């Protein structure tokens, strides 16, 4: 009898954890989409902080975005996907849930950072087109990095 109670409690805990993780992931997606609107609306008003700076530093911003994407990929691989695949990490325990949540949030924030870099560069350039590769790349990676099914066994 007590095994069923524990099992039901674990199922409820797992479901609550899954909902929380998907809610946070969704918030990152909405936030990144909002950056598209901010970039478009601000630049449509004729804002251009320093086009010469933007032209000069565009490669630096691109490298920084690449580093964020690569870093988030490495983080997810080593701290989430591999431990889940090896059975070392499971979301049944509170510690496992904490590690999964922490890994996902840090990786998603790094991914959203790509779009933020693009927003800053686009504001300097005064050109919405400058934002698109950064914002689009960040959004695409966020969509591809939904919470892994293997975290909810």
pLDDT, tens digit, for every residue of 23-58? 999 999 999 999 999 999 999 988 788 989 999 999
Q: Give pLDDT, residue 153.
A: 63
**Rounded (10°) angle between helices 51-76 and 94-125:** 160
For the cut 90, the answer to whether the pLDDT of residue 144 exceeds it is yes
Q: Determine the structural domain holding residue 136 and report its residue range.
A: 2-151
**Rounded (10°) angle between helices 128-144 and 51-76:** 10
Number of domains in the chain: 1
* Chain centroid, CA 82 distance in Å: 19
pTM: 0.85
Dihedral (CA of 109, 25, 89, 81) sign: negative
């Amino acid at each position: 009898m007590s095994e069923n109670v524990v099992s039901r409690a674990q199922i409820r805990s797992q479901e609550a954890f899954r909902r929380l993780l998907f809610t946070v992931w969704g918030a990152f997606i909405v936030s990144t989409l909002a950056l598209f609107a901010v970039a478009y609306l601000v630049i449509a008003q004729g804002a251009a902080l320093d086009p010469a700076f933007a032209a000069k530093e565009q490669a630096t911003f691109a490298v920084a975005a690449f580093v964020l994407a690569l870093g988030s990929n490495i983080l997810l691989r080593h701290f989430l996907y591999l431990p889940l695949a090896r059975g070392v990490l499971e979301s049944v325990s509170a510690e496992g849930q904490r590690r999964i949540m922490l890994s996902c949030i840090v990786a998603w924030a790094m991914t959203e950072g790509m779009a933020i870099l693009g927003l800053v560069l686009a504001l300097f350039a005064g050109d919405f087109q400058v934002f698109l590769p950064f914002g689009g790349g960040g959004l695409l990676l966020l969509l591809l990095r939904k919470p892994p099914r293997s975290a909810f066994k």
